[in-house]
Structure 1
Amino acid sequence: MKECTVDQLGPLPEFLRDGTGDVVPIRTPAGDSMWLVRDYALGRQVLTDKRFSRAQAATPHAPRFNDAQPVPDSMMSMDGDRHTRLRRIVSGAFSTGRIATMGSLVEELADRHLDVIARQGPGADLIEGLATPLPLAVLCSVLGVPEADGNRFRSWVEVLFDISASTPREKARRRIELAEYIYDLVDRKRHLPEDDLLTVLIGIHDRGDLTMNELLTLGLTLLMAGYETTVGQIGLSVLSLLSDPAAYEELAGRPERLAPAVEELLRLNPATPLSFPRVAVEPVELGSVTVRAGEAVMVALLDGNRDAAVFAEPRSLDFTGRDAVHLTFGHGMHRCLGASLARLQVRIVLERLLRRFPTLRLASVDEPVVWKDGLATRGLSRLLVDW
């Protein structure tokens, strides 16, 4: 096992950096009170227990964590049959077979961006040159967003995920702009259908099984949920690996360990450190505390992934494979729909980097790593490398 040698956490709320206890009260950035679950087993319980409701957490008077939360009519803010119905509609686009067919596209995109980085030479920024444009292009391909519109979409989403530099009014305006864009794109695809998810959703709508509002919200949800998190996860996974040069060298010489290495990198450094809030619909005994009806609970996915009772030497990288499943993509009915697509992108990025740049390392400059600040997901704004 290799323990990472640089700060992997970046800017985090104090309760995620230095706290103790399995279930503890916290004050959120929005000023509300919630329970935070740090224990792996209790976290899995919260994520599957129907007594903890996502729909109740999306009501106007529910405790809030920050301003970058899903809207009430998002699939991520639904419980039970409503959630299951919408998830079933879009799950085919993220099936194992469908994702497997995307491997060649991701490889082509990764190679194209790495060609540019190679020409640029040492000192290149992997975030701007690879981690940002790759997931954007992949997601646009899945949904059917024209490549030429990618940068417009990127600017919208970055404002919606920002939790400090933009106001709620600005977020609302950008959300409306994005909804209008999706509406216009749907209208265009109705006349010129293609092999993409939006065209499939249009067909379901035309059969009467999906309202236009549901179609638009699904498009918005998938765009927002799949982009910023994957950008963050690629950057954080590369950072974890480069933080221990011996680990990078070991993996370059043992490509058969890439699959377990990807899972370990996802576990150690998740882009999403917290679950969305859930509100108890009745009193629930949770560890040593009682969560009363109406109180909100969040699961610290970052802490659960580093629970020493579940993961031996939890702050170390173990490329031989661990038995327990990490919480990076959540658990239960709201588990990340795009987990397989995110894994595919992280794996291919690492595979290409290891093959083309076996001596890759952090650049020898004052600040090779710069963290994003004020986002609902963790990530880097800069990752300078040499080779």
Structure 2
Amino acid sequence: MTVAQTAGAPKYPFGPVVGLDLHPRYAQLCRNEPVSRVTMPYGGEAWLLTGYHEIKEFLADPRFSSHAATAPDTARVTPLPLRPGNLLSMDPPDHGRIRKVVAHAFRPRIVSQLADRMRDLVASELDAMEEAGPPGDLVQRLAIPLPVRMIVELFGVPYEQRAEFRRYSDVFVATSAHTREEIDAARDGLEDFLRRLIATRRSSLSDDLVSVLIEALDAGELSEVEAVRTGIGVLMAGHETSLSMISNVSFLLLAQRELYASLCADPKLVDPAIEEMLRIIPLRSVGSFPRRATEDVVIGGVTIRAGDTVIFQRAQGDRDERVFEDPETIRFDRERNPHLGFGHGMHYCLGASLARAEIRVALEGLMGRFPSLRLAGTPEDVPWKPGLIARAPESLLVTW
């Protein structure tokens, strides 16, 4: 057991975020120092985990608190810490109580019903892209409309109001693209949007998440702040994360076009291909949301002191050569793939089945319609959104 030295901890992030590349420093740390000290942009120093076993152990350990990381002195990559009351910023027993409420909206029956509507939407969007002729933009034609439409249906947001919450989304998930004042204003705007939505929907309850939140609110199972901020968390994760992932998957398959060709030749590979891309794609531009130790904890032989902040780079853990054979190679025939793409432990992604369904329907639509699909330019021509938590192309021009 050791306590690592903290003097001169390197600045984090280690360098510019470039497409879907991981900075080489991550691999070096994973191999030699999977629990290491870094200096964060805000709040001082933190522990960075890069090894698979260390990350998985951390995620399952209740001694690391998400709620404690809402304190303003928490080391972090964002200008502001998460606000309390969000599922991502909760600990037991509150986390379990509210997760149980929200889970009703992600029942298999609901996701199955949404999948039928996904296919119709994808067909309609690809019809329009084909009719307009090349080049088409997969971000505008597929990556944005599919998850946005699905989350507004799941959530119960009137479709015509989608632009109102969309205008806050990129600001909400900024690291360096917006100021703390702009981020705070976006959070306030989203909370006001949710409060108004809850007020207007009280007379027309249904199966959607807003109705579930209203019923739980009226039953005293959660407070108004919890209802609003939990709703925001689901709304943001359900569309911003999914649209980024659909964009990234499409880019990866077309940047290495032999991957797309292999799927078109054997569509049965789609499901294992999705798992492999969930493993290999570093969705977050920087490390995870932070947690803080509530007592001294030993991980990977290193003592993390009570009050210390911990983050991790999931994508590097999913490239840990101790767990994954030939981890840097994308293999759709990988037999064992216990990736952490949707997390682990109590914060495991509630919408994992919905996200998988969205990626699957998007890919099946593209392969069925455009087997000759390719980038309109080179991978280097693709522009990327700067300064946000999630990586994603701004546009993805394709031809066929």
Q: Which residue of 1 aligns with 2:57?
A: 45
Residue 237 (structure 2) pairs with residue 202 (structure 1)? no
After superposition, where does 1:333-344 map in structure 2 within 5 Å?
A: 333-344=346-357
Q: Does 1:281 align with 2:299?
A: no
> Aligned pair in 2 of structure 1 residues 349, 188: CA closer, same or farther (>3 Å)?
same
Q: What secondary structure sits across from 1:385 in the alignment? A: strand
Q: Which moved more, 1:372-381 or 1:202-211?
A: 202-211
- Mean CA deviation greater in 78-87 or 189-198: 189-198
Q: Is the 8 A contact 1:22 1:287 kept in 2?
A: yes
Return the offset for 1:25: 1.2
> For the structure 1 residues 171 and 82, does the alpha-carbon distance in structure 2 shift closer, same or farther, using more than 3 Å as the test?
same
Task: Report the counterpart of residue 165 of structure 1 in structure 2.
Answer: 177
Which residue of the partner structure matches residue 353 of structure 1?
Answer: 366
Q: Name the SS of the counterpart of 1:87 in structure 2.
A: helix
* More divergent stretch after superposition (45-54 vs 171-180): 171-180
What letter is aligned with 2:316? D
User: CA-to-partner distance for each residue in 1:157-208, whole Å, 9 max, x for gaps?
Assistant: 1111122232111222222222112111111111233331101221222222
3-state secondary structure, aligned to 2:395? strand
CA contact (8 A) 1:68 1:160 kept: no
Q: Secondary structure at the match of 1:382?
A: coil
Query: Could you tell me which amino acid in structure 1 is paired with residue 191 of structure 2?
Result: A
| RMSD of aligned alpha carbons | 1.9
Residue 72 of structure 2 is matched in structure 1 by 60
77-86 or 30-39: which moved more?
30-39
- Aligned residue for 1:315? 328
Summarize deviations over 1:96-141 as a string: whole Å, max 9, x none.
3321221111111111211121122222111122111211111111
Match of 2:337 among 324, 329, 344: 324
Maintained 8 Å contact 1:277/1:296: yes
Q: Which residue in 2 is equivalent to 1:261?
A: 273
Consecutive unaligned residues of structure 2, counting only runs of 5 or more, are 1-17
* Partner deviation per Cα, 1:282-334 (whole Å, 9 max, x = no partner): 22222142211111111210101111111111122211243231111111001
The one-letter amino acid of 1:209's match is E
Say if 2:201 and 2:211, in contact at 8 Å, map to a contact too. yes
Secondary structure, in 3 states, of the residue corresponding to 1:80? coil
**For 1:101 and 1:298, how far apart are their aligned partners in 2?**
36
Closer, same or farther in 2 for the Cα pair 1:369/1:137, shift >3 Å?
Answer: same
> Which of 232, 235, 238 in structure 2 is aligned with 1:220?
232
1:25 aligns with 2:37: yes
The alignment's TM-score, normalised by the length of structure 2, stands at 0.90
Which position in structure 1 is the counterpart of 2:124? Answer: 112
Q: Please tell me whether the aligned partners of residues 70 and 84 of structure 2 are also in contact (alpha carbons under 8 angstroms).
A: yes
Change (3 A) 1:68 1:118: farther
122-131 or 360-369, which deviates more: 360-369
Comparing 230-239 and 265-274, the one that deviates more = 265-274
In the TM superposition, residue 335 of structure 1 has moved relative to its aligned partner by 1.1
Residues 1:86 and 2:114 are matched in the alignment: no
Cα 1:296/1:217, change in 2 over 3 Å:
same
Task: Tell me if structure 2 keeps the 8 A contact 1:275–1:330.
Answer: no
Match of 1:191 among 174, 199, 203: 203
Does the Cα contact within 8 Å between 2:43 and 2:74 map onto a contact in 1?
A: no
Q: How many pairs align? A: 380
Opposite residue 301 of structure 1, the aligned amino acid is R
Q: Counterparts of 1:259 and 1:22 in 2: how far apart (Å)?
A: 30
What is the rounded CA distance, in whole Å, between the counterparts of 1:318 and 1:255 in structure 2? 15
What is the aligned partner in structure 2 of residue 180 from structure 1? 192
Name the SS for the 2:62 alignment partner.
coil
Q: One-letter code of the match for 2:108?
A: T
1:154 shift after superposition: 0.8
Q: Residue 9 of structure 1 is aligned with which of 7, 17, 20?
A: 20
SS in 1 for 2:341: coil
User: Cα–Cα, structure 1 residues 374 and 8, in superposed 2: closer, same or farther, change >3 Å?
Assistant: closer
Aligned position for 1:140: 152
Runs of 4+ in 1 over 3 A off after TM superposition: 12-20, 365-368
Partners in 2 of 1:67 and 1:268 — Cα distance? 28
1:25·1:36 contact (CA, 8 Å) conserved in 2? Answer: yes
The 3-state SS of whatever aligns with 1:316 is coil
Deviations 1:17-54 (A, max 9, x none): 76553111112232621111111011100001112111
Check 1:143–1:68 CA distance in 2 against 1; reply closer, same or farther (3 A cut).
farther
1-side partners of 2:381 and 2:144: how far apart? 17
1:302 counterpart residue number: 315
CA contact (8 A) 2:77 2:175 kept: no
Match of 1:374 in 2: 387
Shift in Å at residue 57 of structure 1? 1.3
Residues 68 and 311 (structure 1 numbering): CA distance in 2 closer, same or farther, change over 3 Å?
farther
Output the CA distance in 2 between the equivalents of 1:291 and 1:237: 36
Q: CA deviation at 1:236?
A: 0.9
Secondary structure of 1:262's counterpart equals helix
Q: 2:71 is paired with a residue of what secondary structure?
A: coil
Q: Deviations over 1:256-305 (max 9, x none)?
A: 11111111111111423632211111222221422111111112101011
Change (3 A) 1:70 1:341: farther
Q: Residue type of the partner of 1:374?
A: G
For the 8 Å contact 1:268–1:305, the answer to whether it is kept is yes
8 Å CA contact 1:362–1:368 kept in 2: the answer is no
**Which piece of structure 1 moves more, 164-173 or 295-304?**
164-173
